[in-house]
Amino acid sequence: MLDDSEHETCDSKSWRRRNVLQAAGLAGVTGLAGCIGGETDDDGDTDDSAFVTPEVVPPENMQFNSYNDNNYPWRAGLILFDDFVYFEKLENTFQPGIVTDWTVTETDATLDVRENVPWHDGGEVTADDVVRKLKIEIYDGSNLGNYVDVGGIDATDDYTVELAFDQPLAEDMFLNFLMEISLDTPESHYQEFLEDFEDGGEGENSAGEMLGEYTIDEPIGSGPFAFDGTAEQELHLERFDDHPDADDINFTGYHFRFLDTNEARWQEIESGQIDGLHTVFTPPNIVEGFPDHIEEFRIEANYGMGIMWNHDHEHFGQREVRQAIAHVIDREETAQNAGPDTEAPVGIPSGVLSNHDGSAEEWLGEYADEFNEYETDTDRAAELLESAGFQRDDGTWYDENGDVLEFQVKAPGGYSDWVDGIQTFNQHLNDFGIEAEFLARDEAAYWGQDIYGDEGFDVALHEWANVQRHPYFSLEWLLDSGDNENVRNYDASEIELPPLGEESGSERYVPADDLEELALADGTDEERTHVQRLAWAVNQDLVMLPIMEKQDQSFIATERFDAVSPDDPDAHVDFPTTYLVRQGKLTAKSE
């Protein structure tokens, strides 16, 4: 996992969101963290008034500082803390959270803070708390800081926050930044960090702890359920009756049981031992075997598996090699084998989401037909490799030094859909004469050593988009994020490519400039102009190769609880197991 040094190089909150979504269905995370205080019954039994779901972090290892990536139980965080705003993915609308209303102009934004929301220690949430969170986010590296200076964030009264923009920012873009923020920084835990930041420090409290290393054993939340304690293998939360959403919640407990494998989760929901799964990849044969009372909810994940190259590698630093591999891979077959019901093959590798409904191409407009679809074409792949100095002998490709073109593809072994996909990917390459080997790594080694550590990789798997649906965010992640310098070794400061829509010629592309213009674009036509240029850079240079886009799967057992149908718009907010509770649309059955 990331250590604190990475917080300065990327939007850390988006990084956490990407990785908690990836972590659905993985083995439990272990690491160094304090134990949680509080006590409940030692036998760990739950009663009929508790909704029970899995968690991948053992209760004895949990800590509740979301800026510390070690052993933060993100599933519990969904109900312990309120988000600023929520995004409903069926109709693509923003819904109020701690921020109930907003006014956004080219130069500033005004936020209305929800009244009568209590902190779990008895204090009331006010505009000062929202200001504290926003400032810490920016100091911690949020890309919101590209548009808002911390000095321009003020509480003008108890329930109003004003932000001055350093440069114009469109409303949709601004709200996309807010949807990644939870109100989880109470004054007693975080004010010292903020004061140190404002004094020019690196985020250190009076005990000498850095923000990214600080651990919280007993959280002070802002959501409808509060920390109650731990039992054997479970974290227990209790309904916080003073929260304004509590009136719509007719059960008193929300419990998180440590289950570290997909198989254990499937077995326990099937047997009635737990009541829901937040998000876990579940293949069709397992879904079909569930009893009828288990309801599946599918939500656009807004991310998917991509091939990530080390651009410092002697071969993968060559555009022709990357393009050749793209022509060898059958993305449709790869997605079908990875998840026939939930994975959609990327139509045009452009870095733009919405491949499930085909609307990704709408952003490409009149240029869509000019983009390279990288259809399976081994003849074209051979031409590209030969132009890069490779030759094929007896079915095997060799570089100009006579060495076999071979490499390992690293992947986290617990990501079952990615594992199935990469095995198909490798088979295509092997059939073509490129010797690709799959190397499965456990989660801690993969993210901590291979991707964000010193071990490194030649080719690896990563998300090619980062949860937010607007093209700005996936294109920024690919072309202007800290991962380019620190992980991919890709220089996107200037890229020489053919002009948009043309096969030849040369034009200088500066992604950072187009991203800046896209962020303040007013209207779809203006946005599309910049999206097309950025997508062209992704498509032609293949900083990563997007393979597929997924849907998240959530499950609710309706034996003891009632829930709305998957067609309800509120069931399309991350995640039905927590958001529906807030809306009074996931309730305990009356006895």
Nearest residue to 574 (alpha-carbon basis) of 279, 354, 191: 279
Please name every residue paired with 441 in a beta bridge, in sequence order, or none if there are none: 412
Task: Taking residues 298-321, report their average pLDDT.
Answer: 96
Does residue 399 surpass a pLDDT of 70? yes
Q: Is 45 exposed, middle or buried (0-12, 13-18, 19+ CB in 10 A)?
A: exposed
CATH number of domain containing 389:
3.10.105.10
Render 440-491 in DSSP notation, one character per residue: EE-HHHIIIIIISSSS--SEEEEESS-S--SHHHHHHHHHSSHHIIIII---
Find the domain containing 502 and state its range. 305-549
Read off the pTM.
0.85
Q: Is 287 a member of any domain?
A: no
Task: Taking residues 95-104, report their average pLDDT.
Answer: 98
If one compares 185 and 34, the residue with the highest pLDDT of the two is 185
Q: Is 231 a member of any domain?
A: no
Q: Is 360 a member of any domain?
A: yes
Q: Is 238 a member of any domain?
A: no
Q: Tell the residue number behind the tokens 């996992």, with chain if given.
A: 1
Does residue 259 surpass a pLDDT of 80? yes
User: How many domains is the chain built from?
Assistant: 1
Q: Is 406 a member of any domain?
A: yes
Task: Taking residues 95-109, report their average pLDDT.
Answer: 97
β 253-258/50-55 pair status:
parallel
Instruction: Decide if 215 contacts 549 (C-beta within 8 A).
Output: no
Residues 6+ apart with CB under 8 A from 164: 107, 108, 148, 149, 152, 153
Q: How confident is the model at residue 170 (pLDDT cuts 50, 70, 90)?
A: confident
pLDDT digits (tens, 9 = 90+) for 138-147: 999 998 998 9
Does residue 34 surpass a pLDDT of 50? no
The DSSP call for residue 385 is H
pLDDT at 46: 35
Instruction: Decide if 27 contacts 260 (C-beta within 8 A).
Output: yes
Q: Is 321 a member of any domain?
A: yes
pLDDT digits (tens, 9 = 90+) for 69-85: 889 999 999 999 999 99
pLDDT at 48: 53
Q: What radius of gyration do the chain's Cα atoms show?
A: 24
pLDDT at 575: 96
Q: How confident is the model at residue 241 (pLDDT cuts 50, 70, 90)?
A: very high
Residues 6+ apart with CB under 8 A from 526: none
Does residue 206 surpass a pLDDT of 70? yes
Q: Is 505 a member of any domain?
A: yes
Q: How far apart are CA 273 and CA 364, in angstroms?
A: 48
Q: How far apart are CA 167 and CA 516, in angstroms?
A: 9
Between 61-65, 410-414, 429-433, the lowest mean confidence (pLDDT) is in 410-414
For helices 331-338 and 416-432, give the axis angle rounded to 10 degrees: 150
Question: Mean pLDDT of all residues in the chain?
Answer: 90
Nearest residue to 90 (alpha-carbon basis) of 574, 523, 522, 555: 574
Q: Is 117 a member of any domain?
A: no
